[in-house]
Structure 1
Amino acid sequence: MNITYIVGNGLDLQYGLKTKYKDFYEYQNKIYTNKKKNEGYSNLIYESLFSDKVNNYENWSDFEFSIGQLTINNVITFYSEDERNKFISDFSDVIDDLRNYLKQEQNKIDYKKYKIDFEMTLNNLRNELPAVNQSVIDKKYNDNSQQHDTVNILTLNYTNVIDRLYELSEVKFLNKLRNNNFFFYINAPIHAHGTLDICTVLGVSDETQIAKNFTEEEKEALIKTLSLKSFRENMHIKNSDIIKNSDIIILYGVSLGKTDKYLWQQIAERSVDSTVPIIIYNYVPDFDAGNPLRVRSMYKKVEDKFIDSIDIELQLKKKIRENVIVVIGKTIFELIEE
């Protein structure tokens, strides 16, 4: 059976890195202000970003979406080829600035001290779910008996944190969810949008999220799926193949933002076609499970956010909702000291 974890920035935050969008905003704002003053440097994206003192961007997907909206709201400006080229050049600078910032952050962990407790996460997969949903995992194991389980980790992060921790961790161990002598095998993480060293893909999900007057070649710089294809390493195919072959899909530390819509769409299609459960971990600090009305509202809010992030026929929304399992206030891939 294939179990797929899709992890986002929430995992890096869990490991203590300052990788929130607002962390980068505060860091880069100072650098840009000095560079503009001392070198006469100008960047349209930063000008828009830093002039908006009240923007409420919480996640990286909000930031990516705002870049697309910048082209739509200034569509007249982008009729000029020179202006479009300048914008893409500015966007390229933003990517390099982000890479430099994240490289500093990923080096702040003492990797010799820690490893990931994959065994705890996987063997507790069933028990971490709400009691009413645990039978879903039982059914999956009954339908896929007498076999080992392969675990794929598709990370949306550019940092190498999970890769370095993976190298130090136990990645084969007895599967206590099965009655016989079968194992979990955890594959090395795959970066859906590249790494800080290779093909860092930042951008929007599709053409509807940018102005219409960009050429096909220019779109490759702004749209994630096109950027992945243009890199010529079949990254988009690898991502899709993992999702298409998944029997259980788990989302952790992701914002379900619009700029990764193409991924959520693939996950939804796989879920509908093959009754694949989608387990979504929703981080809530100091979660209080005492108020059932509040808890029920949280469950529905996460379900709604996933459903709203995709294009799906009305009659299939009910099926997706039945396949979504929300876990609130719990963590995975915890670190343990060597």
Structure 2
Amino acid sequence: MLVHVSLLVGNGFDIQANLKTKYSDFYKYLRETALHSESLNDNTIYKEINKMHTSDKYYEKWSDFEMGLMSLTQEVNDESGLSDEKLFVDKMEIETHLTEYLKSIEQNINVEKEKDKIIEEFSRSASLLFLSLRDLNRDQIGNVLKLNNDVKTMHMNILDFNFTSLFKDSYELMEDNLASVRGPIGNSKLGIPMKKHEYIKVHGSTSRNMNLGGNDSTQLGVKMRDSRYSFSFIKPELDKAIAEKSYIRGKKALQRSSVFFVLGMSLGESDKNWWGEIANQLLRREKSALVIFSYHPDEIITNNGPYHKLEIDRIIDKFSSYFSDSKRDALEKIQQKVFVVINSRLFNLANMDFDEVNE
């Protein structure tokens, strides 16, 4: 018997590796670029986010920026004078700057330089995907999944939401046999071999088809919904338009999986398609579970029991909000299958030296 698992990887992985890929890092780059760019200073999106950052409503995460972009589409109307074409062109300009910025970060990364350390860290992390849970949660997920000696192997599907290539380049250093996933998981104390299965760059990369925007057309302004450019603001529609099939492949990976791990993602509304899909799978599959690896900068959240529980409840409530079924018993069934690990430090490349050696 084999079990499929899916690992969804977000920008938190890059941040943990000390890459300057936060939205705030990019905004700083834009401000510096705007000092000598006439077109950027006339860019509707840049002017809007610059205005936001001079108030107390600045964006903290990429998902905030994406939802801010969707809010800006509501300004496309006759009264404002903002046309759909102007907003489209401005979005393309922002994405060009984002590509240039992220490429400047990537050009200094050489994973081969730290190959042995990366392989060791990725193998360690893959083996601890369940053991990183606290004791009670480990028992609970074991009871949910009921993994036993019949499970001969786990197949790993990666859904990489980053534009950067660090996780993919690091993962490709690994052999097809990733690790022996350690227990105990329920009554099983045996290590279960985990093997590579499929790797999906969900939102493209710095070299190909970067996909930035919202989740669906309901997040667009009314005028923008009928625009010829609307597809470029909706990530599933853009993926379909460029025939990449990343969303199709990603959803198929989730549908064949019974265990889901989320690493370094904020559970934002711009990606709520994915959270709803996982929730549906948790309801559909009797033996299924979700583990969310979350980071919090305040160590009191990790070490203080009441604060720890409140943060876990907040994360589970946020995930549950994307479940469309209004039946209370269905929601409770899903919530019993969601587990949160705070500050696990898995897949941690913080101490690696990636800089290229210039000869």
TM over 0.5: yes
- 1:282 corresponds in structure 2 to 294
Which residue type is aligned with residue 207 of structure 1?
Answer: S
Give the C-alpha shift of residue 303 in structure 1: 0.8
- 2:239 corresponds in structure 1 to 228
Give the C-alpha shift of residue 248 in structure 1: 0.4
Q: Deviations over 1:206-259 (max 9, x none)?
A: 111111222263221110110011111322210110111111001110011110
SS at match of 2:8: strand
- Larger CA deviation: 84-93 vs 114-123: 114-123
Q: Structure 2: any 5+ residue segments left out of the alignment? A: 354-359
Which residue type is aligned with residue 279 of structure 1?
Answer: V
- For 2:311 and 2:193, the matched residues in 1 are separated by 34
| Matched-pair contact (CA < 8 Å) for 1:155–1:191 | yes
Q: Normalised by the size of structure 1, how large is the TM-score?
A: 0.91
Please state if 1:15 is matched with 2:17.
Answer: yes
- 2:262 corresponds in structure 1 to 251
- For 1:145 and 1:174, the matched residues in 2 are separated by 15
- Larger CA deviation: 236-245 vs 214-223: 214-223
Q: Normalised by the size of structure 2, how large is the TM-score?
A: 0.86
- For 2:258 and 2:15, the matched residues in 1 are separated by 28
Which residue type is aligned with residue 244 of structure 1?
Answer: Q
- For 1:102 and 1:221, the matched residues in 2 are separated by 20
SS at match of 2:5: strand
Pick the aligned partner of 1:301 from 314, 334, 355.
314
- 1:28 corresponds in structure 2 to 30
Pick the aligned partner of 1:131 from 129, 135, 157.
135
| Matched-pair contact (CA < 8 Å) for 2:156–2:194 | yes
Give the C-alpha shift of residue 159 in structure 1: 0.7
1:1-338 matched pairs, under 5 angstroms: 1-36=3-38, 42-52=42-52, 53-54=54-55, 55-72=57-74, 74-77=75-78, 83-114=83-114, 115-116=118-119, 117-139=121-143, 140=145, 142=147, 145-172=150-177, 173-177=179-183, 183-187=193-197, 189-214=199-224, 215=226, 217-275=228-286, 276-285=288-297, 287-288=299-300, 289-315=302-328, 316-335=330-349
SS at match of 1:142: coil
- Larger CA deviation: 178-187 vs 275-284: 178-187
- Larger CA deviation: 182-191 vs 83-92: 182-191
Which residue type is aligned with residue 299 of structure 1?
Answer: I
| Matched-pair contact (CA < 8 Å) for 1:6–1:156 | yes
- For 1:58 and 1:270, the matched residues in 2 are separated by 30
Q: Cα 1:167–1:291, aligned 2, differ >3 Å: closer, same or farther?
A: closer
- For 1:236 and 1:78, the matched residues in 2 are separated by 36
Percent identity of paired positions between Structure 1 and Structure 2? 27
Q: Deviations over 1:151-174 (max 9, x none)?
A: 111111011111211222344144
Cα RMSD over matched residues? 2.4
- Larger CA deviation: 264-273 vs 209-218: 209-218
Runs ≥4 residues deviating over 6 A: 178-181
Give the C-alpha shift of residue 111 in structure 1: 1.4
Give the C-alpha shift of residue 18 in structure 1: 0.2
Give the C-alpha shift of residue 199 in structure 1: 1.2
- For 2:307 and 2:28, the matched residues in 1 are separated by 33
| Matched-pair contact (CA < 8 Å) for 1:162–1:189 | no
- For 2:289 and 2:28, the matched residues in 1 are separated by 38
- For 2:322 and 2:151, the matched residues in 1 are separated by 36
